[in-house]
Amino acid sequence: MMKFSAEQIAGLVNGTIDGNPMASVSELAKIEEGFEGALSFLANPKYEEHIYTTKSSICIVNQSFNPSKPLPESLTLIRVADAYSCFAQLLELYSQLNKKQPEIESPVFISDSAIIGKDPYIGAFTYVSSKAVIGDDVTIYPNVFIGENVKIGNNTIIHPGVKIYNDCKVGSNCIVHAGVVIGADGFGFAPDENGTFKKVPQIGNVVIEDDVEIGSNTTIDRATMGSTYIRKGVKIDNLCQIAHNVDIGKNSAMASQAGIAGSAKIGERVLIGGQAGISGHLFIADDTKIVAQSGIPSSIKKAETLMGSPGIPLEDFKKSYFGFRKLPSILKKIQELEKKIKELTHD
C-alpha cells in the first residue's frame, strides 16, 4: 500500500488539519483498533471515547468535533464537513489503488468469437463463451463462467466463482461478488393431469443495469420470456433470491436472505429488510420500506413502512404487538371472571 500524508489526504477530502501535516498512513483501521501508520475516522459520537486512546496516526472527524479530553500527542486530525462520507470516499480510492492490474492469466479459455475490451484482468480458470462481449477495464477473478452472448459493461468487477448464463447482460461499474448465479432457470413447472410436474422452458434473460452491486451467493433467475430486470443503482445483499421476470426499480436495496417471487415489480428506492418475502405478480410502490422478516402477499399502492406477515403499516403493527403481549394477562383475567360467574351462578 502506498503512503499518504495528512496534507495529501486533506487535499483529497477538502479538509483542514489539526496536528502534523506530514503525518503519514499506509493502512485503514477502525478507531478502536488503530495502530501507528493507520487512518481512522470518527462520525458516530458513541465511539468518541476511542479517539482519546487510539494509536492511529490520522483520524478524520467532523468540523464540529470538540474534544472533551486530551488527544494522543501522536494523533493528527483532519476536519471535514461529513466524516462518514469522506471516509467512504477514501475507501473507494483505496479500492481503486488495489485493483488488479491488466493481465490475462493462464490457463483460461476465451472463445475466438468473444470480444474483450482494453486493459482486462481475467483470472485463471475463467471460461468466456462464444460471442461474449467484455467491456474496457473489466476485472474478472478466477473460476468465473461467462456464457454465450453475455455482455459485460466497462469497469465492472466479477469476483471468483460467479456464473453468468447465456444471453444475460451486466452493465458498467457493477460489482458482482463471489458465488453469484445470474440467469439460472426460473422456477417454472406446470402439473399435468397426473399431477406430474413438467418443466416450462425459460427462454428469457437477466438484464442488470449500471452501478449495481450484488452480494455473495445471491441468485437472479432468467425470465420465462422477456427479461428479469435489476435497474440502475440497485444494491443487493448476500444470499438473496430474485425469481424470474422480477423487475427491481432504480436505487432500491434489499438485505440478506430476502426473496422476491416471480413477476413482482418493485418500485424505485424501495428498501427491503433481511428475510423479507414478497409474493409474485404484485407491485410495490416507490419509496416503500419493508421491515426484516415481513411477508408481503399483495400489492402496495402507496409508499409506507410495513412490518409483519402479512405486512401492515408499522404503527399498526406496534399497536397490535402491544396487544399480543398483553394476551396472557387478558386470558388470566377472563379465566378469573369465568370462575366468579360460575360461583355466582352456583349460589
Q: What is the CATH number of the domain that holds 172?
A: 2.160.10.10
The pLDDT > 90 percentage for the chain reads 80
Last residue of a domain, which of 68, 97, 126? 97
User: Does 204 lie in the same domain as 236?
Assistant: yes
The per-residue pLDDT for 88 is 84
98 pLDDT more than 80: no
Q: Is the Cβ–Cβ distance between 339 and 325 less than 8 Å?
A: no
CATH of the domain at 71: 3.40.1390.10
The per-residue pLDDT for 220 is 98
Q: At what angle do helices 83-97 and 6-13 cross, to 10 degrees?
A: 110
User: Does 176 lie in the same domain as 135?
Assistant: yes
User: Does 258 lie in the same domain as 219?
Assistant: yes
User: Does 339 lie in the same domain as 296?
Assistant: no
Determine what percent of the chain falls in helix, strand and coil, rounding each to the nearest 5: 20, 30, 50
User: Does 332 lie in the same domain as 311?
Assistant: no
User: Does 163 lie in the same domain as 302?
Assistant: yes
Last residue of a domain, which of 74, 97, 120? 97
The per-residue pLDDT for 96 is 77
Q: Is the Cβ–Cβ distance between 17 and 9 less than 8 Å?
A: no
Classified as helix, coil or strand, 334 is helix
50 has catalytic annotation:
no
User: Does 206 lie in the same domain as 171?
Assistant: yes
What's the CA gap between 179 and 184, in Å, rounded? 13
Following DSSP, what letter does each residue of 206-257 receive, concatenated?
Answer: EEE-TT-EE-TT-EEEPPSSSEEEE-TT-EE-TT-EE-TT-EEPTT-EE-TT
Residue 337, exposed/middle/buried by CB under 10 A (0-12, 13-18, 19+)?
exposed
**Quick one: pLDDT band at residue 90, thresholds 50, 70, 90?**
confident
User: Does 303 lie in the same domain as 342?
Assistant: no
Q: What is the mean pLDDT of residues 237-252?
A: 98
User: Does 141 lie in the same domain as 85?
Assistant: no
User: Does 236 lie in the same domain as 88?
Assistant: no
Taking alpha carbons only, the member of 157, 183, 35, 21 closest to residue 92 is 157
201-227 residue pLDDT tens: 999 999 999 999 999 999 999 999 999
**Structural domain of 140:** 103-316
118-171 residue pLDDT tens: 999 999 999 999 999 999 999 999 999 999 999 999 999 999 999 999 999 999
347 pLDDT more than 60: no
What's the CA gap between 299 and 266, in Å, rounded? 10
What's the CA gap between 177 and 185, in Å, rounded? 20
Last residue of a domain, which of 67, 97, 127? 97
The pLDDT > 70 percentage for the chain reads 99
User: Does 294 lie in the same domain as 166?
Assistant: yes
Rounded to two decimals, what is the model's pTM? 0.83
User: Does 173 lie in the same domain as 28?
Assistant: no
The per-residue pLDDT for 2 is 74
Tally of domains within the chain: 3
Average pLDDT score over the chain: 94
Instruction: Select which of 177, 244, 281, 346 is catalytic.
Output: 244
Q: What is the mean pLDDT of residues 305-320?
A: 89
**Quick one: pLDDT band at residue 1, thresholds 50, 70, 90?**
low
